[in-house]
Amino acid sequence: MVKTKVGITDTTLRDAHQSLLATRMTIDDILTVASDLDKVGFHSMEVWGGATFDSCMRFLNEDPWERLRKIRKACPNTKLQMLLRGQNLLGYRHYSDDVVDLFVQKCVENGIDIIRIFDALNDVRNVESAVRATKKYGAHAQVAVSYTNSPVHNTAHFVELAKKLKAMGADSICIKDMSGLIYPYGAYDLVKGIKEQAGLMVQLHCHYTTGMAAMSYLKAIEAGCDVVDCAMSPLAMGTSQPADETMVAVLQGTEYDTGIELNDLLAIAPKVKEIRSHYKEFDLANPGVDPTVLASQIPGGMMSNFLSQLKAANALGRIDEVLAEVPRVRKDMGYPPLVTPSSQIVGAQALLNVLSGGRYKMVTNEVKAYFQGQYGQPPAPMDEEVKKQIIRDMPSITHRPADDLPPYLDEARQEIGSLAKNDEDLLLYVMFPQVAKPFLEQKYAG
């Protein structure tokens, strides 16, 4: 085999169907291609985490742990990778440290090799506990920085962040560009900066939304990027990743050759195409390229939310006001990157500021908690006037939010009782109690 210079992480079985098919791909479909993908020679395959855990139970009546074990069995040759939202794990709030530790232990025991950990605010303290556990159980701790543009987010800012993450124990850095906002030459500078100053392996994860991702990959690779994320062509591009086939072909015969045989990919693609055809009712039918994101920086999901909510409020004509309000709210909040859950928090408040007849006249509970410091420290200081107006005399914190969370596992064990037969069951309950209870009842019925 050719000496592999650049690695590819294949995201077909996680991010690609999360981005294009509402996370609905079933384990039966996954198993029709998993062992083929396993033989390709990818650096790793991202197959689990993100929204798949929730979706398995909520929509597919599948045990997410069982899914992971089946994929592991089908893929003995390739490292398996997952996405974890730092202290939020695979849920939408902070969990206590004992939950983080057990959850990570079970991920590794059930087959995960590489855990990609991120925090929406890039608050290092919110990923610390997950990184510690990942290393404790012998997996690779990759920390992702949520990429965004703002007056405080420049190359130097992200390089400093990468240095902090290295000091904290990160084994590698991922640049996570969820809206396709990184420019090719910006990617070059950033990767070079991180490689030179933090000296860690760098992986670039871009969504194709704006059409720049494959170009950004190429420039990043020229700057020393070690691994890029791609998906099989039938589930690539649009809001997913660039295509495996394209990147392999582009790099073939160069000093960056991936070592992957294009023909192997061409043989698998029809199977992935067939899988996609099973999900027509969820299929976003490749939106192609959405250049408006370049100007607005508003991710596709946020835009469609705005449109449906304004329609419900019979105020579709005010979309321009809402779009103009988003950057102002973001500035007040200290420029959070727009990723789960900050994109929802910023979006809901921007909508309220326009529709309720005055800025912050009405405030969501999440925005109150945000200004109280309960999500962590934003990249830049929050606007003091707005903060005063919102939290008044309520207390605010500057310490790590999870420091306020007492251990919870013992209590959860008592709550769920004999319905949980093992720690994996218990964690289903801890993560999504309302969904997990009926799920477990059904699983063990009869």
Residues engaged in binding Co ion (CB under 5 A): 15
Q: How far is the CB of 7 from Co ion (least distance, A)?
A: 17
Task: Give the nearer residue to Co ion in terms of CB position, either 15 or 119.
Answer: 15
305 CB contacts (<8 Å, ≥6 apart)?
344, 347
Q: How far is CA 208 from CA 195, 289, 310, 324, in A?
A: 24, 7, 27, 24
Nearer to Co ion, 15 or 424 (CB): 15
270 burial level (CB within 10 Å; 0-12, 13-18, 19+):
exposed
Tell me whether residue 147 or residue 371 sits nearer to Co ion (CB atom): 147
Where does residue 252 rank: exposed (0-12), middle (13-18), buried (19+ CB within 10 A)? middle
The least distance separating Co ion from the CB of residue 305, rounded to whole angstroms, comes to 18
Closest to 205 (Cα-Cα) out of 232, 225, 186? 225
Quote the least distance from Cβ 178 to Co ion, whole Å: 5
Q: Which residue is nearest to Co ion (CB)?
A: 15
- Toward Co ion, which CB reaches closer, 213 or 402? 213
Q: Least distance in Å: CB of 15 to Co ion?
A: 4
* Closest-CA residue to 89 (of 47, 58, 134, 44): 134
- Quote the least distance from Cβ 404 to Co ion, whole Å: 30
Nearer to Co ion, 34 or 83 (CB): 83
Note the Cα 292 to chain centre separation in Å: 22
Q: Which is nearer to Co ion, 15 or 63 (CB)?
A: 15
Q: Which is nearer to Co ion, 207 or 400 (CB)?
A: 207
Cβ 301 to Co ion, closest distance in Å?
12
Contact predicate 303/291, CB 8 Å:
no
SS3 265: helix
Burial of 88 from C-beta contacts in 10 A (0-12 / 13-18 / 19+): buried
Q: In the beta sheet, which residues pair with residue 231? A: 243
Q: How far is the CB of 164 from Co ion (least distance, A)?
A: 22
Structure token pair of residue 410: 């013992």
